[in-house]
Amino acid sequence: MKAVLPDGRIPKKWYNILPDLPEPLAPPLDPETDEPMEPEKLLRIFAEELVKQEMSTERYIEIPRKVRELYAKIGRPTPLFRATNLEKALGTPARIYFKYEGATVTGSHKINTALAQAYYAKEQGIEKLITETGAGQWGTALSLAGALLGLKVRVYMARASYVQKPYRKTIMRLYGAEVYPSPSERTEIGRRFLREDPNHPGGLGIAISEAIEDVLRDGNARYALGSVLNHVLMHQTVIGLEAMEQMGEFEEPDVIIGCVGGGSNFAGLAYPFVKEVLEGKADYEFIAVEPKAAPSMTRGVYRYDFGDSGGYTPKMKMHTLGHTYYVPPIHAGGLRYHGLAPTLSVLINHGVVTPVAYHQNDVFLAAELFAKTEGIIPAPESAHAVKGAIDRAIRAKVEGREEVILFNLSGHGLLDLKGYEDYLDGKLEDYEPEHFPALGG
């Protein structure tokens, strides 16, 4: 069972959650003064239109026609499936649906914001975009967006993923991007981390620092971010807007689930549904799933912190483990982040979203069952959502009640097979650190 929309049903507007949040978002702070950041300072880092979108109080922002055309080219609208074989294997009365973002040409949801960010950069006359990537999905997406729109792209890829997932960097290079392992010798912050540990596995926080340092040296370059900030999450809401229409062909969901590193794919699916809850029109339940190795939602502190490891970004009020946290090298590279999207942090604080955390062996076990029953190998990040959906379906079975579960399968794992090999060979290590910098550890 699946629902597929025609090209003409690609959403015409993104949904911006800022005006609907239960409380106003705390302003980003200038790292030099600890005062609210002046938008003008952000213009040296981001394309101008993205800065406007980050601060916008408009509930809906129009998607440019060119971006919608590119969405159609890369596979939007993406399909929505019912996981009937998984339901049977679990023996559950729950009905499980998933939105499959792995159907895009780059294999994940990241292309949704990559195309938008590249489009606005091109319109402004920017020549180069520089970015970070964890597992490589975001770097892949931005590399293709740059190729389609005629922009140069440079990517700093977390070193652990650079080693674990070599074909990700091959694809980025094939699309025309430069790719470097992070920490690298190209930046001062990279050299600093390498002096501390020549085999440092890196992480999103360090790669962000390197990308921003690089941008500030190049007047023709701007930074593109794959998650966390509001404009990025907003671009992803095409996922949820499509899913709302597709679920209309079946039934209303009771619970909506997504994995979380920074928060973009979870928000992409959930935020259009969250709007209905905040307006009192629906009673959906939202579950956000993270790794126990990087548990910003379940164990982090809500406070101002840097979005990167080097302290270059504005300070944001968010759930954080501390920007100096050394994130263990789990295979879900896209979830190896110390912080969280500020908008998602607010929703967690108000009880709108419930976070849970899992070990990676449990996550890969769930992914194995999903692959055997539905035929799709999930990305290790997306497998966290699979685990959340399976646990919820088992609970429905134990409690003897029907429930409709919708989750976001945000990417395929066909280039993540080293992780699956380690899992099958019993070599996968679980990490659950006892101490975090934000907790004084």
pLDDT at 5: 92
CA distance 96 to 376: 15
Residue 329 has pLDDT above 70, yes or no: yes
The torsion angle over the Cα atoms of residues 41, 45, 46 and 52, rounded to 10 degrees, is: -10
- Per DSSP, the three-state class of 258 is strand
Percent of the chain with pLDDT over 70: 100
List of residues 6+ apart from 201 with CB closer than 8 A:
158, 159, 160, 327, 328, 329
Average the pLDDT over 131-142 and give the result: 93
pLDDT digits (tens, 9 = 90+) for 46-84: 999 999 999 999 999 999 999 999 999 999 999 999 999
Look up residue 400 and give its DSSP letter: T
**Rounded Cα–Cα distance for residues 131 and 425 (Å):** 34
When pLDDT is averaged across residues 120-148 and rounded to a whole number, the result is: 96
Q: How far apart are CA 336 and CA 328, in angstroms?
A: 8
Looking at 125-175, list the stretches that DSSP marks H as alpha helix, in order from N- to C-terminal side: 137-149, 159-164, 166-174
Element (H, E) at 422: helix 417-424
**Model confidence band, residue 401 (pLDDT cutoffs 50, 70, 90):** very high
**What is the C-alpha separation between 409 and 331, in angstroms, rounded?**
17
| Residue-level pLDDT at 93 | 98
Q: Stretch 268-296: mean pLDDT, rounded?
A: 97
Residue written as token pair 């540990």: 197
pLDDT at 235: 98
d(CA 88, CA 103): 24
CA-to-CA distance for 380 and 412, rounded, in angstroms?
A: 8
Q: pLDDT for 7-48, tens place per residue?
A: 899 999 999 999 999 999 999 999 889 999 888 889 989 999
Q: What is the DSSP string of 295-341?
A: -HHHH-EEEEEESSSSS-SPEEEEEES-TT------S-GGG--S---
| CB contact at 8 A, 317 and 304 | yes
How far apart are alpha carbons 14 and 317 in whole angstroms?
A: 24
Tell me what the mean pLDDT of segment 238-258 comes to: 97
pLDDT in tens, 374-388: 999 999 999 999 999
Cα dihedral angle (285, 288, 289, 292), rounded to 10 degrees?
-120
What is the chain's Cα-based Rg? 20
pLDDT of residue 312: 86
Q: With left for phi above 0 and alpha for psi between -120 and 50, is residue 320 left, alpha or beta?
A: beta
User: 285-291 and 353-358: which strand pairing?
Assistant: parallel
Q: What average pLDDT does the chain have? A: 95
Sign of the CA dihedral 165, 166, 171, 175?
positive
Say what the pLDDT of residue 36 is: 93
Q: Does 395 have pLDDT greater than 70?
A: yes
Given the structure tokens 């992780």, which residue do they identify? 419
Residue 441 is predicted with a pLDDT of 56
Average pLDDT over residues 331-345: 92
pLDDT digits (tens, 9 = 90+) for 175-192: 999 999 999 999 999 999
Confidence (pLDDT) at 296: 97
Look at residue 271 in the predicted model and tell me its pLDDT: 98
Residues 260-280 have pLDDT tens digits of 999 999 999 999 999 999 999
Tell me the longest C-alpha to C-alpha distance in the chain. 61
* pTM, entire model: 0.95
Fold of 65-107+229-439: Rossmann fold (3.40.50)
Q: How confident is the model at residue 332 (pLDDT cuts 50, 70, 90)?
A: confident
